[in-house]
Amino acid sequence: MGYGQVDFDVVEARGTTRKLLNAFRTASDPLVKKVLKGMVFDALDHEAELRVRSQAKHIVQILHEVKTPEISKN
């Protein structure tokens, strides 16, 4: 994944998080709100994990593209 490319897993996770957050905001039943609150936190955790993995993959790809200079033994 190059610079500026989108990781669709992250986008999908972000969308899920937003849907759950909207459901939490509109829920009126306290028990439903409590359950949705836990789901929002889980979704945020998953989204953050995917984002970090995506960034790490991008950094590793950049590191593999950089050629290491040959050092002379003189």
CA 21 to centroid of chain Cα atoms: 16
Average pLDDT over residues 36-58: 95
pLDDT surpassing 80 at residue 57: yes
pLDDT greater at residue 2 or residue 21:
21
pLDDT in tens, 5-46: 678 999 999 999 999 999 999 999 999 999 999 999 999 999
pLDDT at 74: 65
Position 3 confidence tier, pLDDT thresholds 50, 70, 90: low
The pair of three-digit structure tokens given for residue 50, joined into one six-digit string: 């995917």
Q: State the residue for tokens 């439903």.
A: 32
Structural domain boundaries in the chain: 8-65
Whole-model pTM over 0.85: no
